[in-house]
Amino acid sequence: MNLSLELTAEETAMLEKCAVRNNISTAEFIKNTILERIKDEMDMEVYETAMNKYSRNPRAYTHSSVMRELGLVK
């Protein structure tokens, strides 16, 4: 897939500067940044789902109770 972006000279300069600082091409920097943002949003959805589930049943476990339940200690 190819994408086209309209950027100002200032925006282009910022992108190029960041890419150089990360020792990658501008295209690779843009791609990595977009994918990172998507992953962050997916992580946030998982977090929100878990927090909603926890708020409906706020049950917590201690480290020692988990270790006993898993049979790792007696």
pLDDT in tens, 43-57: 999 999 999 999 999
For 20, the token pair is 């150089």
Helix (H/G/I), strand (E/B), else coil: 10:
helix
Q: Which two tokens stand for residue 23?
A: 């020792």
According to DSSP, residue 25 is labeled -
How far apart are alpha carbons 54 and 48 in whole angstroms? 10
Q: How far apart are CA 71 and CA 68, in angstroms?
A: 5
Average pLDDT of 13-31?
A: 97
Q: In whole angstroms, what is the distance from residue 13 CA to residue 23 CA? A: 15
Output the pTM of the full model. 0.72
Lookup result for tokens 């977009």: 34
pLDDT at 74 over 90: no
